[in-house]
Structures are given as structure tokens and as C-alpha cells.
Amino acid sequence: MHVKTTLVAAVVAGIWLAPTAHADPQDQAFLSFLAGHNVAVDTNTAINAAHIACAQIVDGESPSMVDAIVARQFPTIGGDESWIAAAARKAYCPT
């Protein structure tokens, strides 16, 4: 049973950490940040949410408002909106 659990965990980790097809360097940096903080969210959903977060950040919204907007627009992210916004700041938002 322990071997089966370990094998399943290794496969899941391999899928999660595998690069996204056609991902640009910003996407890879974003996804690496999330993986490094154990945020397991659908890749496309996370990237879309990050772009929304970045647009709100550029518009001058407060961090708490950015989190609220992302959570409202992407309810499937399950409370990881702060991590997504933080990763978006690092990977996508202009400096």
C-alpha cells in the first residue's frame, strides 16, 4: 500500500511540475513560484487569474481588493488568490 501511495504521489508531482506546452518564460516563472509555495491550481485558471490580478494591480487596487476580485472571478482557486496575486506581481506585472 505504501509503494502505491508513493508511486501516485510521484506521478502527481511529475505532472504538476512538468512544463506547460508552449508556455512562455513568464508563465514558467509564475508556475514555478506557485509550485514552490505548494499551490495546486489548474494551470490555465491560475494564469488567467494572474492576468486579472495584474490588471487590477496596475490599476492601483489594494492587495486585499485584488484578492477579492480574483476570488470572485475564479471561485475554483480555493483560497489561493493571495499566492496567485503575489506570483502575478513577480511574473507578469510591469515594474
Q: What is the pLDDT of residues 21-48, one digit of tens each?
A: 556 889 999 999 999 999 999 999 999 9
Lowest mean pLDDT among 9-13, 58-62, 77-81: 9-13
Rounded to two decimals, the pTM is: 0.72
Q: What is the pLDDT of residue 9?
A: 45
Q: DSSP string of 7-52?
A: HHHHHHHHHHHSPPTT--HHHHHHHHHHHHTT----HHHHHHHHHH
* pLDDT per residue as tens digits for the range 72-93: 999 999 899 999 999 999 999 9
